[in-house]
Amino acid sequence: MLQWSDTASEPMAAGLQKPARAPQILRRAFEGQRLQAPTQVLFGANDFYIPVAVLEEIEAHGVDLTLEVVEGCSHWMPEERPDLITDRARALFGRQ
């Protein structure tokens, strides 16, 4: 498992906390491409590394992409709400 130290993650987090710059960092490698598989993005409303503003118009980056911003969760949603992650995964992967 990849382990990030606070020191290693600070430069990445600093770049993402500037909403005007974050889309450039995240989209550079996949410019002009759209996800073809059904995709659901779960995002913690209280994420301290990545601001919600980064996700503006994210639905345009996939044929069947939905975004759910989860109140009361941060960057560590799988640890904070494993029940929600499990429910959403079952619903997504159970689709025909």
Cα–Cα dist 27/33, whole Å: 9
The total of other beta-carbon atoms located within 10 Å of residue 48's CB is 11
Please report, for the domain that includes residue 76, its CATH number. 3.40.50
Whether residue 46 is contained in a domain is answered as yes
The pLDDT of residue 85 is 95
Q: Can you tell me whether residue 18 is helix, strand or coil? A: coil
The torsion region of residue 32 among left (phi > 0), alpha (psi -120 to 50) and beta comes to: left
Range of the domain at 55: 6-93
What confidence tens digit (pLDDT) does each residue in 52-69 have? 888 888 888 899 999 999
User: Number of structural domains, the chain?
Assistant: 1
What confidence tens digit (pLDDT) does each residue in 20-43 have? 555 555 556 667 788 899 999 999
